[in-house]
Structure 1
Amino acid sequence: MQALKEFQSQAQGLSDLLNYAALIDSGVVQNKDGSIMVGYFYRSNDITSSTEDERNYLTARINAALARLGNGFVTWHDAVRIPDNYYPSADKNYFPDPVSKLIDDERRKRFQSEDSHFVTEYVLVISYMPPLRASSKLNDMLWQEQEGVAKKSIADQVLEWFYKELVTFEDMVGNVITLQRMKSYQVTDDFGKQHLRDELFNYLGYCITNRVQEMNIPHYGAYLDVCLGAYPVINGDTPKIADNYICPIVIEGLPPESYPNILHVLEALPLAYRWSSRMIYLDQQEAVNELMKIKRKWKQKVRGFFSQIFKTQNGQINEDALLMSNDVDNALTDAQSGLVTYGFFTSVVVIIGQDYEELQENARFTIREIQRLGFQCRVETINALEAWLGTLPGHAIQNVRRPLIHTLNQADLIPLSSIWAGRAESPNPYLPPQSPPLMYALTNGGTPFRINLHVDDLGHTLIFGPTGAGKSVLLNMLDIQFLRYQHARIYSFDKGRASWGINQASGGKFFDIAGESSDLNFAPLSELDTTEDFMFAQNWLETLYQLQTETILTPEQKKQIVRALELLKTQPKSGRTLTAFNATVQDQAIRDAISHYTLSGTLGSLLDAEVDGLSGENSDSWWVAFEIESLMNLGEKNLLPVLLYLFRRIEKSLDGRPTLLVLDEAWLMLGHPVFREKIREWLKVLRKANCSVVMATQSLSDMYRSGLLDVLLESCPTKILLPNPEADKPGTDNLPGPQDFYVSMGLNETEIYMLKNATKKRDYYFMQPEGKRLFQLGLDKLTLSFAAINYKTDGLAIKRLMDEHGENWPYKWLDSKGVTYDKAS
């Protein structure tokens, strides 16, 4: 046998420093010191828009759950900021034209750029150290087992009790945060062999290596320390594990008082790190003992040495020591009340990276942000390795900070402000599974924000905001990004040609209804073959009569319209014109009213065509936009018949393909009773045809007085609000102000304050039942070159490029803007 002892080093390695022993149950790790621990992924509500009362309620509920913990319990609340460079790959999109692809490629490049976007994951680990065996024997002497029931081992009793405590904890916090227990799971390799893996084990590995990796559990679940600690460690002021430098930043110097989410900044910094908040809980009596030790120290300083020796009352009093002694008395009262539990709290931000200079720069930035909140902090040097070990779940004895705090303070200091980033996949059930969100945007700290207009199968959306706040650019981005879905179609009603540029660049059709150079006209009576078409034509003609005469048709007049349509139905489609109808109908009053819309009247050039201008290739475009400003100037009697017919054409085209119906300046349509009822109908029925109605308006007062506000708020679960400097301006009993409108939408004072102080043309406030968030579009040069086209300033130049270069004009437009691009994409 060879003598190998002299070659075996006695120095400790990383595995010797780790406390992990074995996986004893699904998601349950036993440590070397005898403690057991479980882990949770958790998320709280996004409290950015919460009121002070709502935040206080959250911390009160968390305190009530944590205050039940006592001796033997330790918790780690971790906020893990990790890079998120995901963006849907090109093969998951179905953009039908080069420009929409170019725009999405630019956004993909932005969101996939290295270390520029981050998301925060939240982890809670609860560890419990069972009592000594002597305590367990005493417990057995005091309590008798039920006869006929097999006596359980101490280990089984401890686990059973621990599980019950966890269930109680979950029930107490379940109404304010979402908990997902970490569990074990099976995987099958390429050879058909099954392996056991565990989410808690994987997370422990991440804490050590800063690398997301799924690892197999060793046979029998033991020797976890060896698996997790198989890396070289170099100790020092900046320890190094494998290729990663470690920089622990210890938060100390807690302020005199705390408030909910006082350290919320640490949940959204634009860099990768792990913020660990550990609490070692004490039983009431042990907490009282610790506090009494502190009190005695301060009590001794109230009077000088000689005053204490000679027991005189004339010596000078140390007022600071007296105040501190009184503070300890207050703490003793809190501890003995049972409403809070005291413990030792340690909060450390761990930054890990391979680039030493970048690591130090990130540390300096983090320290500045923490100090800005009024906290003292420092980079651990001599104690760096121990400080890092103390942040690892399961390590309760390293780097214990001496001052005691109670659980209500702890609830204020731990991460409880989860950023709501939207769903990673579209919730629209009519789309294929795992379809990407409609659009990626940005929110705090470079966190990607996923925009989905749908809540389940309902995608109707309201957009409100004053003029010049960025509504047109937002609508253009929603439109162009909606084309990512297969067979997607868009119908948009524009005012001021805000969508003209991006519509033309993406190969859409743009019609200026009743414009000076417009040759678009319609044949509303050309489709009479189905019962539904016939009924529409009848109702439409009745509406025309009502608009012209401001009276209701008599039953006999309605019969005359039906008879005329029946005769018209026998003619070829090109002969089913309004002029032909007027020549057929036998009622003079009807002829007089309809004549306004025939070639002999004012609107005949628009509504009395033989062939409908929306037939043929115009009906097959993926984006059809209608400019209605000229039509609006013609007055209500001319506007409504045209829009009613257009909406009928759109309704007929709905066949289940993803469709977006955008109504810009919707206040105009809400101002007429016919349209109010039509919109009410759309909001109820179009969802079944996979059509989402997006209504945008800058006139909050018209929306408020429309009589449809309750229906709109109920039927449109998605709302996007634009910045409004007058958001907090109240109104009167006769004239409601912006504040009244926002309150009617359910906004609280915090949200109204956010809208007031948000930046126009940059910030947008997104509201859904699932969450609320202030976001930015994050547009780069290429996208902005199309989404922000202003027809008044850019229209002539673009038309010139169209005449000179035809379909290639978008590339020449980018050249004129100095934007680089890859045409091959």
Structure 2
Amino acid sequence: MLKLSRRPLYEVAPWLTSITPELILNKDGSLLATYEFQGVDADSPDRGSIEASRNQLDSACKSFDNRITAWWKLTHRRAHGYVGGEFAQETDARLDALNKAHVTSGKYFQNAHSLAVAYTPASGLAKFFDKVGHHMTVGGRSVYGSIFEATKDTVFARSAFAFDMEKLSADARRFEAMLDAFTGGVPRLKMRRLVMQDSYAQLHQAANPSVPPRRIRYPVTLLDTHLTESEVTVGAERLLFESAHGKRFAGIVAVKEWLGFQEAALDSLMQIDAELDVCIMFRFLDTASSAAYIEKVRRFYKMAALNVRAILKQYFGKEEAENDEGREELAKEAGVALKRLTADGTQHGFANISIIVYGDTEADCEDSISEVVGALTNAGFGAIREKANLMPAWNSTLPGRWDKQRRLQFVETPAVSDIAPVCSVMPGPTRNNWLSEKAGKEVPPLTCLPTRHKTAQRVDLHQPGGNGHLLVIGPIGAGKSVFLNFLVSQAGRHGARRIRFDKDRSTRIPTLLSGGAFVDVTGKFQAATHANPLSLLGDPTNFTYVTEWVTLALEDERFSLTPQQTQDVFEAVKILSTYESERWTLSNLSTQLHDELRERLQIWLQGGQYGHFFDHAEDAFAVSDNLSIEMGDLFEKYPRAAALFVDYAFYRISQSMDGLRYTIIEVEEAGFFFQHPRFYKRLETWITTIRKLNGAIWMATQSLRQVERIPDFEILKDNIGNLIYLPNSQANTSKDLYKDKFGLTNDQIQMINDAVPNRDYLWITQSQTRMLQSTFSDEMVAMLRSDGVAQSILDRHHASGAADWQKNYVREMLARTA
């Protein structure tokens, strides 16, 4: 670096002291207010809301005049935070460690938006007449006497303090009125006024790029020294910030020209793999000042368009003179701008856009600057690398400092609103409020995943009221099973009980690796686990449920029990309960029923079509804390039997829930619920019951058409707090289905259509839309996969009896992919 010049930052910091908890007095006499805001979600379901927020910003800015300067800043920093929590199972902990290593690797970022507004009181002749007014109103003097006193104040600084204090109070009231009008006009931006220490922390971070963010104590000195703890060395092309925390290099790229209104053109900078600040400084002008400037420009280009040499040539040579057409066109544009200002009241001002690019080394800084310049060029901007203007350019990014910046462009306020980065990606909550209240201690969110915006997203599936239900919808082969297995594994940090209704052993591998049990009620992969709902008859409190279950078995779409028949079933259940437990079977129950009902129950009895499912003397089904239940054949071939078993299992699970410990019930394929209205109604009931017991049902389905046939699906959808849509390249051809049944917008459907299978997952709740991304390593996939090869290798290691068979399985799987 050449032309080195080191100076402490307190020399350039503009802040003096706080005059109210919300206002700071700057060294030049201006007042400063600071804000942070959320902005509009970048994955907003309706892109029109982004345009509406920019229109609101245009209108709200009309509250400002030439006394106002605004600093709009977007900080782009690497995300190193994650979610806490401990895992009881080693495999779950290993999966989380691998995910944490990826998310906190520095590849992903966190963006923060801030706004600072400065009010600069009148100066010069205007300030002199303010003093005259002060003496007239406070001193009660005549006009001439007040002019005389104001002259003495100006020449001799006489009674200046009393005037300045009164003037400061009046300016503060005037400024607050402007701010109230502005913030009231931009509700979509969700602005929050910063007070005292929060405001100090924002300014401290702006002035000290090499210092990690921290909370700032209350000042005991002036703010310029209190909020700075660094030195800056000014080189030919870079700045070097040094503090006790280390060094940091920075370069500044300024925007030279704007090609018209370019909405969200600066958003592309958020995709760059570098830490940077996008700083927009805007000095507002009133109508008179804007008109004077535009007229000055118009006259300049009109005069410059005249070609004196051509005029002389015309005079002496009798030839036709030609003026400069380019400058004539610029003069016409200035005239049009003047007309628009007069007719529409379009607001104008002077703007500067500077991008501060940071790097830990000079080489890193230079590489990042090259990326920024390329992104700006592709967006249609002209880019300038600051050199001679380097330090003034950085000074003007500090809220309250605008005096040294000369690289200003005269623009309309709507032009600034259009390129202002109003979109954000909120990182998500740091705690799970619902589970924290239940546990009486801090409980973290479920997990942390990347987004399509290269940010890290904390994922909390518990919506207000404890609604943690989840429905995953999308075609086969889009990554459903692996993603669901990952989410269920992550629930280990909540100490959750995890019960999975599996299909084709999709959940078997992560269940066994995490110390769980696998049972097969179909007998396809291992000896069938017998289930007998009548085994519950030992407790009279179960009589009502057993009656409901038998009713489900008896009824179908064409037949429903009458109230008398329902009572008959209940009486039969009570009679059977008086027998020995070995006789609590469906066959024995049928002997207590009338002929019609006995005949309808025949298919569920031994020798009947479905007699092998439930007509057993014993019940081998046991609910444990980590369980996978294979039901694939039932889902595909016997949906009625599947629904009956799941209903029975749900009841058994609910009986084991105490309302305190969190329980997750995963249904790998829920399509069978949607085939029969009666079972669908039972699902609606369980959705409510399980939630009240501090549980969540996580379901998946591949068939959107099955959902289409459900007449009141909207009721169920409203009771499910989270929906995740898998990538579907045919989504645009099924817009009616996505719109009518799921209530999606065209923008959300387009996201589903453009998403990449096995990577993108569109997560939608009532309050947000977010495109999550998963990038699972080979080791993570080995623990989450379900294909036949992996099952065979797992069987061999599981049967080996080795103490570390799980690690041996993973090592072999990794060796196969090497």
With normalisation by structure 1, the TM-score equals 0.88
Q: 1:506 — aligned with what? A: 514
Residue 251 of structure 1 contacts residue 375 of structure 1 at CA under 8 Å; is this kept in 2? no
Residue 259 of structure 2 contacts residue 380 of structure 2 at CA under 8 Å; is this kept in 1? no
Kindly tell me: are residues 271 and 819 of structure 1, through their superposed partners in 2, closer, same or farther at Cα, counting changes over 3 Å? farther
Kindly provide the CA deviation profile for residues 114-143 of structure 1, in whole angstroms up to 9, marking residues without a partner as x.
x33320111100011011275356357679
Residue 240 of structure 2 contacts residue 250 of structure 2 at CA under 8 Å; is this kept in 1? no
Residue 510 of structure 1 contacts residue 624 of structure 1 at CA under 8 Å; is this kept in 2? yes
Q: 1:823 — aligned with what? A: none
From 87, 94, 104, the equivalent of 1:102 is: 94
From 774, 780, 783, the equivalent of 1:777 is: 774
Q: 1:593 — aligned with what? A: 600
1:99 Cα shift?
Answer: 0.8
- 1:637-676 to structure 2, matched below 5 A, reads 637-656=640-659, 657-676=661-680
Kindly provide the CA deviation profile for residues 167-222 of structure 1, in whole angstroms up to 9, marking residues without a partner as x.
1111111x2111111112xxxxxxxxxxxxx2222222211221213333433xx5
Name whichever of 391-400 and 329-338 sits farther off.
Answer: 329-338
Q: 2:528 — aligned with what? A: 519
- 1:60-459 to structure 2, matched below 5 A, reads 60-89=55-84, 92-93=85-86, 95-113=87-105, 115-132=106-123, 134-136=125-127, 138=129, 153-173=166-186, 175-184=187-196, 198-210=197-209, 211=211, 212-219=213-220, 222-237=221-236, 238-242=238-242, 243-306=246-309, 314-337=320-343, 339-428=345-434, 429-430=437-438, 432-456=440-464, 457-459=466-468
From 738, 743, 754, the equivalent of 1:746 is: 743
Q: Partner letter of residue 687 of structure 1?
A: R
Residue 280 of structure 1 contacts residue 345 of structure 1 at CA under 8 Å; is this kept in 2? yes
Residue 63 of structure 2 contacts residue 178 of structure 2 at CA under 8 Å; is this kept in 1? no
Kindly provide the CA deviation profile for residues 376-430 of structure 1, in whole angstroms up to 9, marking residues without a partner as x.
2232122211211111111111223232011100111221111133323224254
Residue 110 of structure 2 contacts residue 455 of structure 2 at CA under 8 Å; is this kept in 1? yes
Kindly tell me: are residues 524 and 145 of structure 1, through their superposed partners in 2, closer, same or farther at Cα, counting changes over 3 Å? farther
Q: 1:546 — aligned with what? A: 555
Name whichever of 596-605 and 668-677 sits farther off.
Answer: 596-605
Residue 606 of structure 2 contacts residue 612 of structure 2 at CA under 8 Å; is this kept in 1? yes
Q: Partner letter of residue 609 of structure 1?
A: H
SS in 2 for 1:483: helix
Kindly tell me: are residues 569 and 391 of structure 1, through their superposed partners in 2, closer, same or farther at Cα, counting changes over 3 Å? same
Kindly tell me: are residues 245 and 639 of structure 1, through their superposed partners in 2, closer, same or farther at Cα, counting changes over 3 Å? closer
Q: Partner letter of residue 239 of structure 2?
A: P
1:743 Cα shift?
Answer: 5.3
SS in 2 for 1:527: helix
Kindly tell me: are residues 586 and 454 of structure 1, through their superposed partners in 2, closer, same or farther at Cα, counting changes over 3 Å? closer
Residue 130 of structure 1 contacts residue 158 of structure 1 at CA under 8 Å; is this kept in 2? yes
Kindly tell me: are residues 685 and 76 of structure 1, through their superposed partners in 2, closer, same or farther at Cα, counting changes over 3 Å? same
Give the whole-Å Cα distance in 2 for the aligned partners of 1:553 and 1:817: 54
Kindly tell me: are residues 229 and 631 of structure 1, through their superposed partners in 2, closer, same or farther at Cα, counting changes over 3 Å? closer
Q: Partner letter of residue 505 of structure 1?
A: L
SS in 2 for 1:528: helix
Name whichever of 360-369 and 744-753 sits farther off.
Answer: 744-753
1:470 Cα shift?
Answer: 1.1
Q: 1:3 — aligned with what? A: none
SS in 2 for 1:511: strand
Kindly tell me: are residues 310 and 69 of structure 1, through their superposed partners in 2, closer, same or farther at Cα, counting changes over 3 Å? farther
Residue 720 (structure 2) pairs with residue 716 (structure 1): yes
Residue 489 (structure 2) pairs with residue 480 (structure 1): yes
SS in 1 for 2:257: coil
Give the whole-Å Cα distance in 2 for the aligned partners of 1:586 and 1:207: 80
From 32, 45, 54, the equivalent of 2:49 is: 54
SS in 2 for 1:525: helix
Give the whole-Å Cα distance in 2 for the aligned partners of 1:369 and 1:798: 48
Residue 345 of structure 1 contacts residue 400 of structure 1 at CA under 8 Å; is this kept in 2? no
Residue 7 of structure 2 contacts residue 231 of structure 2 at CA under 8 Å; is this kept in 1? no
Give the whole-Å Cα distance in 1 for the aligned partners of 2:613 and 2:680: 24
Give the whole-Å Cα distance in 2 for the aligned partners of 1:700 and 1:450: 28
Kindly tell me: are residues 782 and 411 of structure 1, through their superposed partners in 2, closer, same or farther at Cα, counting changes over 3 Å? same
Q: Partner letter of residue 222 of structure 2?
A: Y
1:245 Cα shift?
Answer: 4.3
Give the whole-Å Cα distance in 1 for the aligned partners of 2:314 and 2:133: 48
Residue 50 of structure 2 contacts residue 423 of structure 2 at CA under 8 Å; is this kept in 1? no
Q: 2:150 — aligned with what? A: none
Give the whole-Å Cα distance in 2 for the aligned partners of 1:11 and 1:491: 64
Give the whole-Å Cα distance in 2 for the aligned partners of 1:302 and 1:147: 56
1:700 Cα shift?
Answer: 1.0
Residue 273 of structure 2 contacts residue 368 of structure 2 at CA under 8 Å; is this kept in 1? no
SS in 1 for 2:471: strand
Give the whole-Å Cα distance in 2 for the aligned partners of 1:462 and 1:259: 39
| Number of residue equivalences | 775
1:553 Cα shift?
Answer: 4.0
Give the whole-Å Cα distance in 2 for the aligned partners of 1:529 and 1:349: 74
Give the whole-Å Cα distance in 2 for the aligned partners of 1:700 and 1:147: 80
Name whichever of 320-329 and 304-313 sits farther off.
Answer: 304-313
SS in 2 for 1:455: coil
Q: Partner letter of residue 674 of structure 1?
A: R
Give the whole-Å Cα distance in 1 for the aligned partners of 2:97 and 2:522: 37
SS in 2 for 1:330: helix
Residue 249 of structure 1 contacts residue 377 of structure 1 at CA under 8 Å; is this kept in 2? no
Q: Unmatched 5+ residue regions in structure 1?
A: 1-9, 185-197, 730-736, 821-825
Residue 247 of structure 1 contacts residue 363 of structure 1 at CA under 8 Å; is this kept in 2? no
Q: Partner letter of residue 387 of structure 2?
A: T
Give the whole-Å Cα distance in 1 for the aligned partners of 2:6 and 2:730: 68
1:672 Cα shift?
Answer: 0.3
Q: Partner letter of residue 94 of structure 2?
A: L
1:534 Cα shift?
Answer: 0.4
Q: 2:792 — aligned with what? A: 796
1:15 Cα shift?
Answer: 2.4
1:147 Cα shift?
Answer: 13
1:236 Cα shift?
Answer: 1.7
Residue 735 of structure 2 contacts residue 749 of structure 2 at CA under 8 Å; is this kept in 1? no
Name whichever of 498-507 and 258-267 sits farther off.
Answer: 258-267
Name whichever of 284-293 and 625-634 sits farther off.
Answer: 625-634
Q: 1:490 — aligned with what? A: 498
Residue 254 of structure 2 contacts residue 385 of structure 2 at CA under 8 Å; is this kept in 1? no
Q: Partner letter of residue 109 of structure 2?
A: F
Residue 76 of structure 2 contacts residue 275 of structure 2 at CA under 8 Å; is this kept in 1? yes
Kindly tell me: are residues 215 and 632 of structure 1, through their superposed partners in 2, closer, same or farther at Cα, counting changes over 3 Å? closer
Q: Partner letter of residue 521 of structure 2?
A: I
With normalisation by structure 2, the TM-score equals 0.89
From 30, 35, 47, the equivalent of 2:25 is: 30
Q: Partner letter of residue 183 of structure 1?
A: V
Residue 63 of structure 2 contacts residue 181 of structure 2 at CA under 8 Å; is this kept in 1? no
Give % identity. 22
Q: Unmatched 5+ residue regions in structure 2?
A: 141-161
